[in-house]
Amino acid sequence: MKMIQAIIRPEKLDDVKRALEEKGFIALTVIDVKGRGEQKGITLQYRGKKMEVDLLPKVKIEIVVKDGEAETAIGTIRASARTGRIGDGKIFILPVEMMARVRTDEVWT
């Protein structure tokens, strides 16, 4: 299985959630994070001086999916989270060795 970690704009969360839902990805976990990308956040001009606002609020979505579904999930997130402007975010895929349900004794590997 794979864990997809997507760091997106907070205001895009609803769109992404809805898009994932339509593709059948219901279960997910959401975490409030702060982050900066390679361009070091946003640079504001202030009375001649520059000021960098480097840690901007972002939202991290984590979904664990079967190996074969990762592609679709990533495509869905990308399409729904994209605005085309800097700060749209990143997606990482991490290997997951096992998933277990707490309520029952089910296990997926």
- Contact residues toward another protein (CB under 8 A) are 11-12, 14, 42-46, 53, 56-57
Question: Does 102 participate in binding its own copies (rule CB under 8 A)?
Answer: yes
Residue from 34, 44, 51, 53 in contact with its own copies (CB under 8 A): 34
Spatial separation of the C-alpha atoms in residues 104 and 85, rounded to whole Å: 44
Q: Which does 23 bind (CB under 5 to 8 A by kind): another protein, ligand ADP, its own copies, none?
A: none
**50 close to 43: Cβ distance less than 8 angstroms:** yes
- Look up tokens 């991490």; give the residue: 94
Question: Does 88 participate in binding ligand ADP (rule CB under 6 A)?
Answer: yes
The closest alpha carbon to 80, from 3, 2, 23, 39, belongs to 23
Minimum distance from residue 48 beta carbon to ligand ADP (Å): 26
Q: State the virtual CA torsion across 77, 80, 84, 87 in degrees, nearest 10.
A: -60
Residue with smaller CB distance to its own copies, 27 or 48: 27
The closest alpha carbon to 6, from 54, 65, 52, 50, belongs to 65
Residues near its own copies, by CB under 8 A: 1-3, 6-8, 17, 21, 26-31, 33-40, 54-55, 58, 60, 64, 74, 77-78, 81-103, 105
